[in-house]
Each structure stands twice: as structure tokens, then as C-alpha cells.
Homo-oligomer: A and B are copies of this chain.
Amino acid sequence: MATRAPAGPTLDDIRAAREAIAGVARRTPVLPSATLTERLGAPVELKAENLQRTGSFKVRGSANKVRRLGDGCAAGVVAASAGNHAMALAHAARALGVPCEVYMPSEAPLTKIEGAEALGARVVLGGDSVDACLVAARRRADEAGMAFVHPFDDPDVVAGQGTLGLELVEDVEELGKVVVPVGGGGLASGIAIAVKSLRPEVEVVGVQVESCAPFPASLQAGEPVEVDSRLTIADGIAVKRPGGLTLELMRRWVDEVVVVSEEETAEAMVLLMEKAKLVVEGAGAVGVAALAGGQVEPARNGCTVAVLSGGNVDAGLLHEVARRHETEAGRRVVVLTRVPDRPGSLARLLTLVGSTGANLIEVQHVREGIALHVRETAVELVLETRGREHAEDVLAEIERAGYHASVLRG
């Protein structure tokens, strides 16, 4: 059963949205990326929407929706969200003087809960999942005469997200291609409508993450197909089932949807931190992942822009991503070796390691589970080196001194 095509927003709706959200959402900068430009041999720029108010593009759609509701939301607005949509609606509602309630799963990160509260929203915790919260939020809206605001499947929301596309057309010289993260599809379709209405020759490509990628199958089937969602680093786009409206808009306006891996997404986050100096959440980094991984070719003519759709990532996850990257770059190695079980042995080994310039992060005796001579003990060292080549030199030094050493990770 194919869904009937509901009405999507037009270029005029998006232009009107721009007026409506002025003062609530920011115009975010477009930054050239020397690293990606050099690596791909073609000009690449980054739309730094992670610098948007509340840390994601969502505020554009929320603000437009609240404005368009006008008196229809005098009693307030209600949303269900584990993160960005909650903070965005809270901000938009406060800026426009409208009460706001958000239903969040009890497991939502405390930073997001506090974030929504700090923006003046009443947060109602409960339910295991966003789906459960959605049911509660809709019920609350009906009972209290408040307006329920969907995160993506709403023409006013799509029109708001489309304002980002207007900025691209104005701010990027010779725009050739736009690469956009896809969760519900509101951002990608909004951008595509804006950009292609003004410049039909510009390509717009959507990117999903492998752990939750319903769009390719849904586009093929011609109707929303629900997929299972695994734990993902790109939780901001982990939407298991496209909306009826956004699926139709994506089909009509977006050229292609590609899929990237979790690994590629994590590496893109690190590349953006290390090279572009931008904190971008997993969901916001998939466009760069697709360019770096080759799923998307840069434009043949003109500039390719990757939209960094959000930057809301906990310090805890940043720390994990950075640590893993250190290991992958060979700047962090875990070495297993053995020393004689007598006084001064470990001191001698560590003196040797110190002389190689490697920094000792952790040391631990390992006596179980390893075949050892009765008078020796195994030692696990976590070392920080200057990189893969240095790590190899350090290992060679250890072996030259008569120790047997093996690398566990690094």
C-alpha cells in the first residue's frame, strides 16, 4: 500500500520560515575544510550547524512550527524526544513565550534533561523508549489542548529545516553538491527543496548510518519500512521508520541516500575534532564519513558541502572516541611482556621503556592465565607513543634488551 503524497512545503514556505525564525535560530557559518579539500582533490566546505542554538538544526523547524501555530499553541506545545528535538522546542517555545512540555525516556542523558529544563521546559520522565514517550505526549496534548510538535513529519517543521538550504545557496560560491545526514528526513528534504528550487543542478545526497538505515528500503518499497535499530554512535539519526511526508519528499527531491558504518562515523568525528576543531555528534558527522569513505564522490563542478547537523555529544563519549582513535593511530599500545620474579626487574624494564620516550600510562602484573616459568611474571604495559613508527621502535628496543614482548592492542 503506497502512501498518498501529502503536501510538502514550497520555496515560498521556506522563505516565510526564514522570516519566522529570525532571532530564534542563528545563521551558522560555512567553513572551508583544507583537510578534506586536499584529501579529495576538490573543494569541500562544512556547514557548521553544530554551532546552532541548542547545538543542532532542530531549532529551525521547531521555531517555525511554534510561529505557524500562533494562537493554536496558546496552551503550550508538547514533544517526545531523547535529545535534540526536546532542547530545540524548549528554546523556541521560551523565545516565543509559549509553555513547553517534553516527554523524555528515563534513560535520556542527564545533560539533555538538564538542558531542556534550563531552557524552561517542563520535563516529564518515563517510558523505556521514545516510542512510549510519543504515546504519552500525544495523549497529554489532546487532554490539555496543547499542540503536539512532531520532530520531522510535518510540513512546517520541514520548511524550517529548509532555511539552512537558503543559507547554503547564498553563502557558498559555486555550490555543486550538498551531503546531509538523514534520520527522519526532515532536514534533508527541507534543504533539497530550498536548494533545488533555486539551483536545480545542485545534487543533494542523504546519508544514514548502517545501524539504523530504513530509507534505502523504504524508497525502494515506496512506503515506510521499519527496521531494527542497534546501539549506534549516531543516536541523533536513529529513526527506525521514515515519516509518510518525509519519505515522499525525499523520493521527490533527494538524489540518493547512502549508508556509512559506525567505524567511519567515529573516525569522521575525530577528523572533525582534530582537523576542523569542531565538536560534532555522530549523527552530524555521517556526511563527512561518506566523503572520507568514498560512498559520496565530491561534485565534479563546484563546491561540495557537508552539513554538520549537530554537536550534542557527552564528554564521556568524546573521551571514548578520542581514546579509541589514539589506539588506532598507534599512539596508544598495550604490550604484554615478562620479567624475572625478583627485586628490581620491573624497575629495569620501566627504565628501558622510559628511555625510549614512551609515556607509561598503566602497568599491571598478570599472573593468571598465561604459561609462565615459575620464576617469572607477566607484565602488561599501556604506553603512549608519538605514533605507529615510534611504537614499533619502542617494541624493538624492548626486544633488543632480551624481553619477549607482544602487542595486545595498538
Instruction: List chain A positions with a Cβ less than 8 A from chain B.
Output: 26, 29, 31-32, 34, 50-51, 53, 55, 106-107, 109-111, 114, 270, 273-274, 276-280, 311, 314-316, 318-319, 322-323, 325-326, 329, 331-332, 357, 384, 386-387, 390
Contacts and interface: CB of A to CB of B under 8 A. Distances in A.
B316 A326 contact: yes
Contacts of A55: 277
Nearest to A308: B277
Contacts of A325: 315
Given A110-B390, A357-B107, A274 B315 contact: yes
B386 A270 contact: no
B311 A316 contact: no
A315 B51 contact: no
Contacts of A387: 110-111, 114
Nearest to A113: B386
Interface centre among A31, A34, A280, A315 (most CB of B within 10 A): A315
Contacts of A326: 315-316, 319
A274 B315 CA distance: 7
5 contacts: A34-B53, A110-B390, A316-B326, A319-B326, A322-B322
B322 A277 contact: no
A277 B318 contact: no
Contacts of A34: 53
A386 B319 CA distance: 16
A74 to B, nearest CB: 26
A325 B317 CA distance: 12
Contacts of A114: 387
A76 B29 CA distance: 36
Contacts of A357: 106-107
